[in-house]
Amino acid sequence: MSDAKKPGVEEMSADEKQIRAEFEALLQDYLNSNHRRKVELITKAFEFANQAHSGVKRRSGESYILHPLAVARIVCREMGLGSTSICSALLHDVVEDTEYTVQDISNMFGPKIAQIVDGLTKISGGIFGEQASAQAENFRKLLLTMSDDIRVILIKIADRLHNMRTLGSLLPAKQFKIAGETLYLYAPMAHRLGLFSIKTELEDLSFKYEHPQEYAFIQERLDATEEARKKLFGHFAVPVDKKLQSMGLKYEMRARVKSAYSIWSKMESKGVSFDEIYDIYAVRIIFESQLGIDEKNQCWEIYSAITDIYRIRPDRIRDWVSRPKANGYQALHLTVMGPDGQWVEIQIRSRRMDDIAEKGFAAHWKYKEHNVEEDTELDKWLHTITEILENPNPNALDFLDTIKLNLFSAEIFVFTPRGDIKTLPQGATALDFAYALHTNIGNKCIGAKVNHRLVPLSHPLASGDQVEILTSRSQEPQPDWINFVTTAKAKAKVDYALKRSRREVAREGEHKVITALKNAEIDPNTGELDKLALYYGFPKREDLFYSVEKGETVLPENLKKILKEKTDNFFFKYLKQALGVGKTQEEDASVEEEPKEKPQYDKKRPYILREEAFNRNYVLAECCKPIPGDDALGFINDDGNVVVHKRSCPIAMRLKSSFGERILSTEWSSHKTASFEATLEVKGIDSLGVLSNISKIISEDFNVNIQRLLIEAKDGVFEGKIKMKVHDVEDIQKICVKLSKLKSIKSVGRVGE
């Protein structure tokens, strides 16, 4: 039989043709960079990976090798990395998915590539494992690997970016999980590494899958207003172009439009409409550096030229040229009044600054003969992360939250009495500064002098402050300190010190409780200690020990009277239910009834949220209180029940990141008989009868029951919150539209409690 007649050959040759075309495109990307020419090594890595993944398909039906090829192209073209990273990207799934070992990779491609592939294999399946208990450990591995070779996390981010670009082929529940953990951790990580364009794309793709209607609405509005923006930019650019050309500069000037996710976030946080977002676009001026002229001076010369043409807004100058951000970002930002009477933000950067802004620390390699110098801001940040890992929070979710504190923070610069500069997140306090200096200084801190003035530990610092920390040998961390700190390092240190102190106190209390039991001729076994703890309302024995030592709980002389109750009596059952405590061993032995079987859920189809005879097949989450019509998802709790959250709920984001296997996509059924709580926030001009008009529209026009109405008027304006019972989101939207037509009302929208 000829090749042409063999079944599948045409299909295979088409696949092979596509694979070869992608590989050629990768080589072209590499040859267009200024890295050393190691085409043979990259070709060898591709041929090896292609053979290892031969015959394997992705869920989309494409050959699997196209995924490593796409990741390698992102690493090369969008991050600016060289042959070591490209080869590692091509090989990143080989050890996990095939029979080959890290040793095989080392033998063929050397120890450095093998080390990076090993790091990527160890954190396979994303930062989070399927089990929550493994999650903190996986993340710890990731961060420790980062300190070995930053390329591991850069390739991991590239891997996640390609997965997000091809997310459409997965089931909705899986989409929510991946989008959730992307927004929760990968986007902030990309931001901290200075990968601005990748961070923006990760956010937008997550937003697109989590809130498709809102995403489509914003994209439509951006398309509809594009012509007006072009016109605005044209008017603005003409005199600036003329001036910069007369200065003999080589430059490009372009308009940058805010991302859909950024616009939505601002609409949500500020409670405003699309038309009320005034910084949708900014102007970026990127100039070519001139030999012998300092880049910083060139930035200020362009600044001077622009402010000769347009009136500046002094409170909006941001000098990231003199003092770059911790992720390496450098630029000079200013805001001026444009010719059409609108404020326009301008970002001035050199070509080098622009590369670093778009490609992050990877771009440093383009401007250095060797790898990035060790003493960079990034290494300092990684050192901070490693410090947190020394005393990690055992709770996986809290641990991730602590780490995340350091990812998205804007910075302030604070001086020691000697004039040394310390970089801290915005909102950092005097106590944060003390812990930034040294753990012992933080633990012994009693106060601070800011600009020679005595302030408490909770005093928030500002850029330029000079801070002197006051300490005392007798000082120890106090429980309220956890509310005084904002940095991840300080929170971890305070938490560790408090837990250690609490354990020591509980140990002393344990001796007292055991002695009291022995005096009452009771065997101090775990069962008796648990019963005693339950009697006093403590879910754990350790809480009872702590309370006894602190004198908050006083044990009676006759302990036998308390403990003669059987563990299965009504009182103990009630306490256990209230405190959420599991059964004791004795109770387990006495219960003969079969445990209830947990319901099974089909994750391939949306879970329909039904309401029949006032019985729901779901539970509403108290944190965000979704109502029918909200973008929602389901979380299967420990009891097997479906708890419904809004997709944008911060708690839901944590659940998606950590318990992806328990997430369900959901659909609301008709809920015309049931009512749900919702709260509206109303603002406007105070006038006679405004309150009665609002009440009349809600109660009479829509037949909606108002539960609570709080309105406060001051200096001619009012604002208030109205809590009501509605059927669904449509009710809310109709009420908002009707209320907004009242002359005295300036804004109305739904808010949380």
Pick the more confident residue, 211 or 129.
Answer: 211
CA distance 344 to 30: 37
Whether 218-367 shares its CATH topology with 676-751 is answered no
Q: Angle 570-579/526-535 helices, nearest 10 degrees?
A: 80
* Single-letter residue type at 448: A
Count the neighbouring beta carbons within 10 Å of the beta carbon of residue 214: 19
pLDDT of residue 373: 38
Phi, psi of 251 (to 5 degrees): -160, 170
CA distance 488 to 424: 11
* 3-state secondary structure (DSSP) of residue 15: helix
Q: Any residues with CB less than 8 A from the CB of 51 and at least 6 apart, and which?
A: none
Q: Homologous superfamily of 676-751 in CATH?
A: ACT domain (3.30.70.260)
Per-domain residue ranges for the chain? 18-212, 218-367, 498-590, 607-668, 676-751
Q: Are 95 and 101 within 8 A, CB to CB?
A: yes
* 3-state secondary structure (DSSP) of residue 412: strand
pLDDT of residue 362: 59
- Does domain 18-212 fall under CATH 1.10.10.10? My reply is no
Pick the more confident residue, 290 or 150.
Answer: 290
Residue 416 reports pLDDT greater than 70: yes
Q: Are 603 and 561 within 8 A, CB to CB?
A: no
Q: Are 723 and 704 within 8 A, CB to CB?
A: no
For residue 145, the surrounding DSSP H or E stretch is helix 132-148
pLDDT of residue 43: 92
Phi, psi of 40 (to 5 degrees): -60, -45
Residue 151 in tokens: 């390329």
What is each CA distance from 39 to 46, 155, 314, in whole angstroms? 10, 19, 51
Residue 528 reports pLDDT greater than 60: yes
336: which strand partners?
312, 344
CA distance 208 to 472: 53
* Maximal C-alpha separation, the chain: 98
CA distance 461 to 113: 44
Q: Any residues with CB less than 8 A from the CB of 34 and at least 6 apart, and which?
A: 366
CA distance 76 to 124: 21
Instruction: Give the active site residue among 15, 62, 97, 468.
Output: 97
Residue 338 reports pLDDT greater than 80: yes
pLDDT of residue 159: 92
For residue 256, the surrounding DSSP H or E stretch is strand 251-257
pLDDT of residue 363: 63
Sign of the C-alpha dihedral computed for residues 40, 41, 47 and 50 taken in this order: negative
DSSP structural state of residue 368: S
Count the neighbouring beta carbons within 10 Å of the beta carbon of residue 282: 16
Nearest to 191 by CA among 316, 332, 357: 357
| Per-residue pLDDT band at 140 (split at 50, 70, 90) | low
CA distance 558 to 402: 46
Give the rounded percent of residues in the chain with a pLDDT score beyond 90. Answer: 16
**Active site (annotated) includes residue 96:** yes
CA distance 301 to 322: 14
Average pLDDT, the chain: 79
Phi, psi of 336 (to 5 degrees): -125, 160
> Strand 642-646 relative to strand 619-620: parallel, antiparallel, unpaired?
parallel
3-class SS letters over 709-737: EEEEEECCEEEEEEEEEECCHHHHHHHHH
**Active site (annotated) includes residue 700:** no
Look up the CATH number of domain 218-367: 3.30.460.10
Q: Are 632 and 668 within 8 A, CB to CB?
A: yes
**Most confident listed range (237-241, 406-410, 487-491, 696-700):** 237-241
DSSP structural state of residue 553: S
Residue 691 in tokens: 């309150």
DSSP structural state of residue 320: T
Chain-centroid distance of CA 694 in Å reads 38
> Strand 311-312 relative to strand 251-257: parallel, antiparallel, unpaired?
unpaired
> Which DSSP string do the residues of 651-714 spell out, in sequence order?
HHHHHHHH-GGGEEEEEE---SS--EEEEEEEEEE--TTHHHHHHHIIIIIS--EEEEEEEEEE
pLDDT of residue 3: 40
Q: If you average pLDDT over residues 548-566, what whole number do you get?
A: 72
pLDDT of residue 710: 85
Scan for tokens 């804007």, then name that residue: 410
Nearest to 444 by CA among 468, 473, 416: 473
DSSP structural state of residue 366: G
**First-to-final CA distance of the chain:** 74
Phi, psi of 619 (to 5 degrees): -125, 135
Phi, psi of 637 (to 5 degrees): -80, 180
pLDDT single digits (tens) 251-296: 999 998 889 999 998 888 777 788 777 778 889 999 998 888 889 9
Instruction: Give the active site residue among 10, 96, 148, 241.
Output: 96
Residue 534 reports pLDDT greater than 80: no
pLDDT of residue 504: 86
* Single-letter residue type at 545: F
Q: Are 49 and 68 within 8 A, CB to CB?
A: yes
* Single-letter residue type at 249: L
For residue 343, the surrounding DSSP H or E stretch is strand 343-350
Residue 469 reports pLDDT greater than 50: yes
* 3-state secondary structure (DSSP) of residue 450: strand
Residue 104 reports pLDDT greater than 60: yes
Q: If you average pLDDT over residues 350-359, what whole number do you get?
A: 85
CA distance 539 to 682: 43
Question: Of the ranges 115-124, 439-448, 559-568, 707-716, which one carries the lowest mean pLDDT score?
Answer: 559-568
Q: Residue 496 class from Cβ within 10 Å (0-12 exposed, 13-18 middle, 19+ buried)?
A: middle
pLDDT of residue 315: 81
DSSP structural state of residue 701: I
**Most confident listed range (81-95, 127-141, 267-281):** 81-95
Q: Are 741 and 682 within 8 A, CB to CB?
A: no
Q: Any residues with CB less than 8 A from the CB of 346 and at least 6 apart, and which?
A: 282, 283, 284, 285, 306, 333, 334, 335, 336
